[in-house]
């Protein structure tokens, strides 16, 4: 898939949205082989740049035990706090 190639190029240029889109591709096996570990690393990288979608995806992965993670309610809560911060909203419990 050409989209995955261009997401990879943009990801290498440190564009957080590209990290997120490439992570989605690896998570879903869309245009690239499915690779949960690679997806998780890319979501974390995008979340470190406070990309709200990536932070929320990490929160759900921790809560649900996805992408090779064990369910972790404490990490889930911490990720939601980061989401709220990234969105510049007051912290509200999910």
Q: Which residue segment(s) compose the domain that 74 sits in?
A: 2-86
Residue 52 resides in a domain? yes
Residue 33 lies in a domain: yes
Asked if residue 48 belongs to a domain, the reply is: yes
pLDDT in tens, the chain (94 residues): 688 888 888 889 999 999 999 999 999 999 999 999 999 999 999 988 988 888 888 888 988 899 999 998 787 777 777 777 777 755 444 4
What residues contact residue 29 under an 8 Å CB cut-off, 6+ apart?
none
User: Is there a domain that residue 74 lies in?
Assistant: yes
The count of domains in the chain is 1
Q: Residue 65 CB: number of other CB atoms within 10 A?
A: 11
**In-domain check, residue 94:** no
Q: What is the pLDDT of residue 93?
A: 44
Residue 30 lies in a domain: yes
> Using CA atoms, how far apart are residues 65 and 59, in angstroms rounded to an integer?
10
For position 92, what pLDDT does the model report?
A: 44
End-to-end CA distance of the chain: 36
Give the pTM: 0.83
Q: What is the pLDDT of residue 1?
A: 62
CATH number reported for the structural domain that contains residue 18 in this entry? 1.25.40.10
- Nearest-angstrom CA–CA distance, 37 and 42: 9
């Amino acid at each position: 898939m050409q989209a995955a190639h261009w997401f990879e190029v943009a990801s290498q240029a440190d564009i957080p949205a590209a990290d997120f889109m490439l992570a989605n591709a690896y998570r879903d096996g869309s245009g690239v082989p499915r690779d949960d570990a690679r997806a998780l690393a890319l979501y974390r990288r995008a979340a470190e740049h406070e990309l709200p979608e990536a932070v929320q995806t990490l929160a759900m992965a921790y809560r649900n035990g996805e992408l090779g993670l064990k369910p972790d309610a404490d990490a889930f809560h911490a990720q939601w706090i980061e989401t709220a911060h990234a969105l510049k909203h007051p912290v509200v419990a999910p």
